[in-house]
Each structure stands twice: as structure tokens, then as C-alpha cells.
Structure 1
Amino acid sequence: MAIEDPMPPGNRTIPELLADLFRNLNGLVLTEGRLLRAEMIEAGRSVGAGLEIIAVGGVLMMVALLVLVQALVIALATWMGGGWASLLVGGLLVVIGIALILRGRAELRSASVSAERTMEQVRRDVQLAKEQL
């Protein structure tokens, strides 16, 4: 992007130079903003497509797990009755599920939701800016 100066630099006053500087900076920020917006839209489309594929894969995996659980019940039903095999597999899955839920809940309780490091860095940046002024 070429910016043409209406006057040669030697004939311009400081206020004119400052006005041009701010105008050029404003144009630069606006252009960078448009570029950022375009990149974010493109990245959003890619992320959206990826998430859709992952969701479909997840659904297929759940169906496959249900079929495998059913196969386990059928296999156990040859040694013990079908009802007992279903109770055994279902009970085992309940115990595993409860254990996972309790572990996940413990992880959530120990997780820090606030962005403490970022907040501290911003405080340091503000303090540094104050010292520079």
C-alpha cells in the first residue's frame, strides 16, 4: 500500500507530519483488523468442519461400544443366564461410570478457573507502563 505525500517532507510542519502519522497508523490498524477478521472467519470454518467430523466419529464410536457391550452380554450368557449376564455387565459399567464421574469432579474442584498468571502479567505491564511515564 503506497501512501503519497502531498508535500515533500522538508516543507511540512510538525503538526502536519503528526497528523499524517496518526492517519497512517489508523489505516494500518484498520487494515490489520480486516486481515485478522478474515483469518478468523477462515479458521472458524476449518474448526467447524473438524468439529462436525469429530462429532460424527464420536457417535459412531458410541454405537460401536454398545454393540461390543451387547456382544459381551451374549458371550457371558452362554455360561450364566442372559439376565445374569446383563446384570453383571450393566453393574460393571455403572461402577466404572461412577468412578470416572467422581474422578472428574475431583479434577474440576482442583482446577483454577481464573487466569491468575495472565492477570499478574497485565498488572506488571501496567506497572511498567506507569514507571515509563
Structure 2
Amino acid sequence: MTTTNLGENARVDPPDGRPANGTGAANEPSPTSDGTEKSLSELAGDLTRQMTALVHDEIELAKTEMSEKGKRVGLGTGMLGAAGVLALFALGCLTACAVAAVALVTSVWLAALVVGAAYLVVAGLLALTARAQLARATPPVPEEAMESAKEDVAWLKTQMRSAKR
């Protein structure tokens, strides 16, 4: 995981144990401004602040990712709608052509009935195929944010195990 800086005080350290600024090691005591080591309560406070910042950053990442995906879905949906309208116009022309062609060998009403029935068969097959595809689809989720959160949890578990030793 790379260092993320989404806000003035929201800085996340990478899971390899190095602080984000690249100085010191994670297992060294954290000195205070006067050079003494921090107490356990100060370290717990630091951990709480860092975890809060981490959670905030993960939420921001998820929001950003979902916003970008939403924009793409909106654009694609609009284009698909325009294509559908044009296809509907073409279908009307092709339907008139098909009815006229079948009407050469039978009456016009029977030609329209045959063409309409053929359309219903095709529509039924498309509906069954679409239902199968939708059943296999996964819900849209912020994949990068979830992966990053999993890495952070794994890193935190490792750090907690190391601290217990």
C-alpha cells in the first residue's frame, strides 16, 4: 500500500512498518518533542488518531472510486439509450419491409401476424438470456478500497501480534 494523503492531518503509513516520512523503524520507541519515549497512553492515543485517519481515508477512497464508476455508468447508459432509440426507428422500417415481403404470398393481416409472432419469439429468447446474465452479475463494489482495507487489517493484525511478544 502506498502512502495516501487525503487531508492535512490524514496520513497513512504503509504496512511494511516504515513511517510515511521514511525515517525510523516501526519497532523503535517513538520519542516525544523533548527526546523522551512516549508513554503507553500516548502511544494508544496516537494509534487511535492514526486508525481514525486511516478509516477516514478508506471511506474517501471508496467514495472517489464509486463516484468515478457512477460517472462511467451514466455516460454509458445515455449512449445506450440513444442507440436504443435509433434501433427502434430502424426496427419500424424493417418491420414494414418484412410485412410487405410476406404480404406478397399471403394477405396483409396474416403477414403482420407472422412478423409480430417472430418478434415475440426473439424477445422471449433475449429475455431468458438477459435474466441468466443478470443472475451471474456481481454487485458494483469499490474493489480497490476493499483490497486496501484488507491489507490494512492484515498489517494491523501483524503489528498487534508483534507488540504482544
Is the TM value for this pair above 0.5? yes
Taking only the aligned residue pairs, the percentage that are identical comes to 30
Bigger share in helix: 1
Query: Secondary structure of the residue that 1:30 maps to in structure 2?
Result: helix
After the TM superposition, which residues 80-119 of structure 1 pair with which residues of structure 2 at under 5 Å, given as runs?
80-94=106-120, 96=121, 100=125, 104=128
Structure 1, unaligned runs of 5 or more: 113-133
Number of matched residues?
106
How far 1:68 moved relative to its partner? Answer: 1.1
How far 1:29 moved relative to its partner? Answer: 1.5
* C-alpha RMSD of the superposition: 3.2
2:129 matched to 1:69?
no
Aligned pair in 2 of structure 1 residues 9, 17: CA closer, same or farther (>3 Å)? farther
How far 1:6 moved relative to its partner? Answer: 4.9
Query: Secondary structure of the residue that 2:105 maps to in structure 1?
Result: coil
Aligned pair in 2 of structure 1 residues 53, 98: CA closer, same or farther (>3 Å)? closer
Q: Output the TM-score relative to the length of structure 2.
A: 0.51
Q: Is the 8 A contact 2:95 2:115 kept in 1?
A: yes
Aligned to 1:23: 49
Q: Is the 8 A contact 2:32 2:38 kept in 1?
A: no
Read off the aligned partner of 2:78 and give its amino acid letter: E
Aligned pair in 2 of structure 1 residues 34, 63: CA closer, same or farther (>3 Å)? same
Structure 2, unaligned runs of 5 or more: 1-10, 12-19, 22-30, 137-165
Q: Output the TM-score relative to the length of structure 1.
A: 0.61
Aligned to 2:151: none
Query: Secondary structure of the residue that 1:11 maps to in structure 2?
Result: coil
2:79 matched to 1:53?
yes
How far 1:82 moved relative to its partner? Answer: 2.1
How far 1:59 moved relative to its partner? Answer: 2.4
